Amino acid sequence: MVSEFELKEELPTTREFIELRAAVGWGTVSEDTARRTLTGALYTVCLRKGGALHGLGRVVGDGVLYFYVSDVIVSPAAAGGGFGLRILDSLKTYVQSVASPGATVALLSVPGREPFYEKAGFVRCPNEIVGSGLCLLDYLVPAPEGADSPRRP
Ligand SMILES: CC(C)(COP(=O)(O)OP(=O)(O)OC[C@H]1O[C@@H](n2cnc3c(N)ncnc32)[C@H](O)[C@@H]1OP(=O)(O)O)[C@@H](O)C(=O)NCCC(=O)NCCS
């Protein structure tokens, strides 16, 4: 039987999380960091085929007013099939089910990936409502070899 891609709400294992991020060039984090960030998220979806992890998307935040979209990844083997947008749809459906009026839903795109997020309804900043996004410089400095790598969107 040919197995199909399946998207569902669940946590990946720490090992899967580390390996999928590493596979798209985001470096590695420790098992402890992976466990803590995974259990700290509000909502996580996994894309699987035959049990293997091929995609991921997460929302972190306070669950009512502030939401940050992170770790949106589709493996090279599954890329181009619309799964990235399906992942974003499920994250948006989750946010819509819990966000209060006035909530902020934000993310930081990898340079050049903005058009992907625009297709899902995100808009670039600055715009007429909000200014530019800002990051604390200290956490943009690459980590030393062998240490936890800097975070990615
Ligand atoms: C970016 C990523 C999640 C897209 O996943 P995907 O499943 O290939 O995306 P989809 O098939 O749902 O593409 C949806 C649309 O976005 C567009 N798109 C996808 N990747 C894009 C990119 N890198 N730049 C511009 N547009 C892109 C597609 O062309 C498609 O448009 P169309 O409907 O007009 O054809 C995937 O390529 C990935 O994981 N890349 C590495 C990790 C990464 O950069 N994640 C984003 C962090 S900011």
| Substitution candidate for ligand 1 out of 71, 114, 116 with most atoms within 8 A of CB | 116
Query: pTM of the predicted model, to two decimals?
Result: 0.93
**Is the beta carbon of 35 within 6 A of some atom in ligand 1?**
no
Q: What is the 3-state secondary structure (H, E, C) of the chain?
A: CCCCEEEEECCCCHHHHHHHHHHCCCCCCCHHHHHHHHHHCCEEEEEEECCEEEEEEEEEECCCCEEEEEEEEECCCCCCCCHHHHHHHHHHHHHHHHCCCCCEEECCCCCCCHHHHHCCCCCCCCCCCCCCCCCCHHHHCCCCCCCCCCCCC
Which ligand 1 atom sits nearest the alpha carbon of residue 79? Answer: 8
Per-residue pLDDT of the chain (153 residues; tens, 9 = 90+): 567 999 999 999 999 999 999 999 999 999 999 999 999 999 999 999 999 999 999 999 999 999 999 999 999 999 999 999 999 999 999 999 999 999 999 999 999 999 999 999 999 999 999 999 999 999 986 654 555 555 566
